[in-house]
Structures are given as structure tokens and as C-alpha cells.
């Protein structure tokens, strides 16, 4: 498992950076972005932020990659940028085949020095949600195991997205089956 | 097509002028220079579209007459503000397209019919760097209120079909629908993932650039702009063969600051327009023919947005029809 943090672009530079713990690089240089399914958002869709009044709630996603393995992302609101816009801190984990994120593992994740407050908050919520069977995150991870042929999963229902994930919480499939 | 762009009737002009928004810009979105009357000055400006190369560049004397008539009953300061703002855009236009004949807009019924027909059902895409005003433009077009919480856009979000109401000189409106638009973020990783998706079905591409950032950090802003132009060149083949690109130079109200605008503010805007035109020519090469113009604009001001966006629409339709 390789862990990185996509840092908020607080100065509106237009380039998001990823902190690997020992180095920080531009996000677009670290991933072949064409291989990441479009439904996997590197952050939080606006509609989720708009309807989430509750603070310290994370938006989680999983994407199975063509070349094997998967990506997990957990994102949290991280204050505002220089222009007053809400920005997001995202934990991204590159998982090997059949590897999953556990609460123990989450507790040991490093926190980026520049985003200590929000990093610790995200880590705390993530650990708590991974332990709780009722959390949206746990429901999503159950679905990941339950539907091995689906590629993309999200812990929130997305209505406005142009690239809907294959599985969303409370998504109704064509056969009327409610998967969430 | 020879066109003559007429200003709306003096009645509607005054109504718009009196009712235009004086909503203050949010903290952190840019600093006002001086105090007080910037919005008032902005609200009195007339429409101007700066064409990069179009033979149909226009700015009408009707506008000047409208301003002259509008001065009746206003204070000297207000008169000066209005004329100052108007003159400024004349200066910008003259500098950039001074050698291009300014033709009048003949808004004959048949021409309006053609414009309406051209725009009806068109799909637009809005792209541009981070915080250039893409969300605000969509909100403006959809007549949505400015949200309390501004959010950095991540991912691609469908924009519900919406209708644009286009004011005409005879106080009527041409209405047309925009469909299948997608709102996207402006960061480089978002550009690589979603911009093409947003642009693929578009008939018209609005590229937004932040004038205030161009003023405060020109080097990085131009570098990003050039990079985006390179992206366009690399992806033009994937787009609608007849796609039109229109550049909106947003947040000019911040760049110019409060009235009275000094000579340096005027010069700055003129330089900016010339600069982005020059880089577009250089970077786009043969594709520069797709560019229908560069229009200064402000999303923050009702009056400015209404007038200048209307001009941009006219410029696109006129250019694509000719």
C-alpha cells in the first residue's frame, strides 16, 4: 500500500500537489491520469459539499484499475483558499489486488506537515468509520467485495455528476435492486 | 454580413443602470483600489467586444448617444464616471483593432432571426484556469443566486439545460436553450481528465481568464494560458469541426479598481487584451481562425455582465455566420 495526500491548492496556483511523506510533487506528474476512471474524483464533488452540513465527514471512493490493484480516496473539507473557496484534503492509497484499508492501518498513516489539523481529522474519522459497520465507508467497502465486476464505488449518492460511479450508496440498479 | 449593433432603448438602459448590482465582492477575491464608487462606474459602462481579427468589429456610436442622453439628470461626478468607463473601453478597442473598419450592426429582423436560429439549441463549454469564474458564468447564465459557499470544482458535473435570454435593441429578448453542458475544474489534473469531455459536444467554447491575476502575476498566468492554448491545439481534432472559441477576460472590475480610473489602469487593460491576443495567435497558429473575439467582462456586476456577455454572444454568432 502506498499512501499520499493530495494537498489543497490554497494559493490558487492551478496545480494540485501530492505529498508522499518524503517528497511533494505535482499531482498530474505522479499519476497517469488517463488510467484513472473518470468517476473517481480526486477530491469532493461540489454537490456533496453543498448538501453536507455536517462537518468532519469524509467522501470515500474506490476504483479498480485496469492494470490491477485499486485506488482508495478519502477526502475532507479543509477550510478555504486565498479566494475564499472551499478546498479539500484527500488521502489517496494505492492498493494491491485484494488489499483493503483497515482501521489499524489508517491510524498509522502519516499526516502531511502542511495540513496537520485536517490530516489528523481525516485520519480520525477514517479510523472511526472503518470500525463502524453502519458508516457509509463500511457500506461501500462491503460493496467492493460484493461486486467484483464493478469498477468504481462512492460513499455518497451523486446526482449531478457526468461520470456516475458504478456503485453509490443507495444507488438503485436497473433491476430495482437497492445496493446501498 | 454587415451588422450594426444598436444599444437598447434609453429607457431600458436607464433601468438597468439604476438597478444594477452594487453587491460587494467577497473578501479575498480581490482588493478594491480606492474607495467607493467602482460599482457605480462599472454599472454605467457600455458594451464592447474586442475582436482579435474579425472583419466585423463593432462598437456603435449609438452607445455614445445613449450615454449622452443618460447624462441628463445626473450629477457631474456620475457623468464623468460614466464617460470615463465608456472611454476606457473605446481606448482598448481602438488600440487593438484600430486598423479594422468598424461596421455598424444592422439588426434587421431577418438578421435577428438568423442569430436566433444559430444560437438555438447550442451547447456551450466553459473552460479556464482555477478560479477564473467558470462557476460564476454558469450561475449567471442559469440565473442562479451567487452561492454562499464557493467550492473548488472537482470532477465533471452536469449542468441542467438552461435558457439564455438575450436582450435586443427593441426591448424584446431572444431566448435560446443551452444543453448538455458540463461544469469542470480548472486545475491541470482536471484539465487532463475532464476538459475534453466538457468540450466534445460544444458548439461554442468560452475560455475564461482572470484579468486581475494577469495584472498581479503575469508570468505565471501567461504560462498557464499558453499551456491551455497548447492543450486546445492538441485537442482541436477531437472537437466539433466548427467550434467557436471566445475568450472572456473576466474580473476587469478588479483590475481597473474604483473610479476615477487613472491612465495606468486604461493602459493595463489595453496591454492585457493585446497580450492575450498575441499569445493566442502565436500558440493557436491556424486554429486562431476559430477565435471569435476577446471580451472584457465581470461576473460580479449585473449590468456589466448583461451587456458584455450579450456582446460576446453577438460576436460569436456574427463571426460563425460570416
ipTM of this complex prediction, to 2 decimal places: 0.91
Contacts of B61-66 with CB under 8 Å at 24 or more apart are: B62/B5, B62/B6, B62/B7, B63/B7, B65/B7, B66/B7, B66/B10, B66/B13
- Which residues make Cβ contacts (< 8 Å) with residue B191, sequence separation at least 6? B127, B228, B231
- Closest approach of chain A CAs to the CA of B193, in angstroms? 6
B130 interface with A at CB cutoff 8 Å? yes
* Secondary structure of residue A172 in the 3-state scheme: strand
- Is there a contact between A12 and B131 if contact means CB atoms under 8 Å apart? yes
- Which residues make Cβ contacts (< 8 Å) with residue A63, sequence separation at least 6? A36, A37, A39, A40, A70, A71, A151, A152, A153
> A27, A25, A28, A21: which is closest to A4 by C-alpha?
A21
- Is there a contact between B26 and A49 if contact means CB atoms under 8 Å apart? no
The pLDDT value recorded for residue B89 is 55
The pLDDT value recorded for residue A113 is 95
What does the alpha-carbon distance between residue B31 and residue A82 come to, in Å, rounded to a whole number?
A: 12
Of B129, B147, B197, the CB nearest to A14: B129
The pLDDT value recorded for residue A173 is 47
User: A46 to chain B: which residues are within 8 Å by CB?
Assistant: 151, 153-155, 157, 183
- Closest approach of chain B CAs to the CA of A8, in angstroms? 10
Q: Return the residue in B138, B147, B187 with the most chain A beta carbons within 10 A, the one to mutate for interface testing.
A: B187
Q: What is the full DSSP assignment across A82-121?
A: TTS-EEEEEEEEEE-TT----HHHHHT----GGGHHHHHH
The pLDDT value recorded for residue B260 is 67
Phi/psi for A37 (5° steps) reads -55, 140
What does the alpha-carbon distance between residue A56 and residue A127 come to, in Å, rounded to a whole number?
A: 13
Interface of A with B in 111-140 (CB under 8 A): none
What does the alpha-carbon distance between residue B7 and residue B27 come to, in Å, rounded to a whole number?
A: 34
- Closest approach of chain A CAs to the CA of B31, in angstroms? 11
What does the alpha-carbon distance between residue A95 and residue B152 come to, in Å, rounded to a whole number?
A: 27
pLDDT greater at residue B25 or residue B143: B143
Give the relative orientation of helices A136-146 and A116-131 as an angle to the nearest 10 degrees.
60
Q: What is the DSSP letter of B259?
A: S
Write out pLDDT tens, residues B170-181. Answer: 666 767 677 788
- Closest approach of chain B CAs to the CA of A94, in angstroms? 18
- Is there a contact between B188 and A28 if contact means CB atoms under 8 Å apart? yes
pLDDT exceeds cutoff 70 at B22: no
Chain B residue with minimal CA distance to A38? B193
The pLDDT value recorded for residue B81 is 62
A29 interface with B at CB cutoff 8 Å? no
pLDDT greater at residue A150 or residue B120: A150
pLDDT greater at residue A50 or residue B67: A50
- From first to last of its 180 residues, chain A has per-residue pLDDT tens of 999 999 999 999 999 999 999 999 999 999 999 899 999 999 999 999 888 766 667 999 999 999 899 999 999 999 999 999 999 999 999 999 888 888 988 999 999 999 999 999 999 999 999 999 889 999 999 999 999 999 999 999 999 999 999 999 875 444 444 444
Amino acid at each position: 500500500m502506498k499512501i499520499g495526500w493530495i494537498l489543497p491548492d490554497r494559493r490558487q496556483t492551478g496545480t494540485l500537489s501530492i505529498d508522499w511523506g518524503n517528497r511533494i510533487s505535482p499531482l498530474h506528474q505522479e499519476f497517469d491520469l488517463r488510467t484513472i476512471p473518470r468517476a473517481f474524483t480526486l477530491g469532493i464533488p461540489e454537490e456533496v459539499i453543498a448538501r453536507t452540513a455536517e462537518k468532519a465527514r469524509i467522501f470515500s471512493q474506490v476504483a479498480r484499475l485496469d492494470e490491477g490493484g485499486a485506488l482508495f480516496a478519502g477526502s475532507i473539507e479543509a477550510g478555504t483558499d486565498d479566494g475564499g473557496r472551499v478546498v479539500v484534503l484527500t488521502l489517496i492509497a494505492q492498493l494491491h489486488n485484494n488489499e483493503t484499508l483497515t482501521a489499524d492501518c489508517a491510524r498509522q498513516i502519516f499526516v502531511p506537515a502542511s495540513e496537520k489539523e485536517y490530516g489528523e481529522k481525516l485520519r480520525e474519522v477514517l479510523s472511526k468509520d472503518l470500525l463502524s459497520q453502519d458508516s457509509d465507508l463500511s457500506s461501500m467497502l462491503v460493496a467492493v467485495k460484493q461486486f467484483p465486476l464493478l469498477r468504481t464505488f462512492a460513499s455518497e449518492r451523486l446526482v449531478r455528476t457526468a461520470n456516475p460511479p458504478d456503485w453509490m450508496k443507495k444507488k438503485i440498479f436497473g433491476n430495482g435492486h437497492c445496493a446501498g | 454580413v454587415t451588422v450594426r449593433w444598436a444599444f437598447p432603448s434609453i429607457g431600458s438602459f436607464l433601468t438597468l443602470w439604476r438597478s444594477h448590482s452594487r453587491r460587494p465582492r467577497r473578501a479575498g477575491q480581490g482588493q478594491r483600489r480606492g474607495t467607493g464608487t467602482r460599482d457605480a462606474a462599472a454599472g454605467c459602462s457600455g458594451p464592447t467586444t474586442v475582436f482579435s481579427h474579425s472583419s466585423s468589429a463593432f462598437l456603435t456610436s449609438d452607445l455614445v448617444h445613449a450615454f449622452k442622453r443618460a447624462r441628463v439628470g445626473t450629477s457631474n461626478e456620475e457623468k464623468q464616471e460614466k464617460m470615463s468607463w465608456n472611454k476606457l473601453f473605446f481606448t482598448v478597442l481602438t488600440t487593438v483593432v484600430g486598423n479594422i473598419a468598424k461596421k455598424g450592426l444592422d439588426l434587421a429582423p431577418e438578421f435577428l432571426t438568423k442569430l436566433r436560429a444559430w444560437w438555438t439549441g447550442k451547447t456551450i463549454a466553459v473552460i479556464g484556469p482555477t478560479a477564473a469564474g467558470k462557476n460564476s458564468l454558469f450561475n449567471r447564465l442559469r440565473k442562479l443566486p451567487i452561492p454562499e459557499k464557493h467550492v473548488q470544482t472537482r470532477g465533471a458535473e452536469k449542468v441542467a439545460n438552461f435558457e439564455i435570454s438575450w436582450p435586443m435593441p427593441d426591448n424584446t429578448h431572444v431566448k435560446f436553450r443551452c444543453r448538455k453542458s458540463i461544469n469542470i475544474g480548472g486545475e491541470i489534473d482536471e484539465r487532463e481528465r475532464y476538459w475534453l469531455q466538457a468540450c466534445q459536444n460544444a458548439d461554442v467554447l468560452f475560455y475564461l481568464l482572470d484579468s486581475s491575476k494577469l495584472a498581479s502575476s503575469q508570468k505565471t498566468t501567461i504560462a498557464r494560458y499558453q499551456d491551455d492554448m497548447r492543450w486546445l491545439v492538441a485537442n482541436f481534432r477531437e472537437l466539433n469541426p466548427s467550434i467557436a472559441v471566445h475568450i472572456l477576460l473576466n474580473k476587469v472590475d478588479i483590475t481597473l479598481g474604483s473610479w476615477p480610473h487613472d491612465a495606468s489602469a486604461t493602459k493595463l487593460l489595453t496591454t492585457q487584451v493585446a497580450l492575450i491576443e498575441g499569445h493566442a495567435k502565436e500558440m493557436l497558429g491556424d486554429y486562431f481562425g476559430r477565435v471569435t473575439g476577446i471580451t472584457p467582462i465581470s461576473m460580479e456586476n449585473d449590468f456589466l455582465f448583461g451587456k458584455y456577455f450579450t456582446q460576446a454572444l453577438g460576436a460569436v454568432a456574427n463571426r460563425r455566420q460570416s
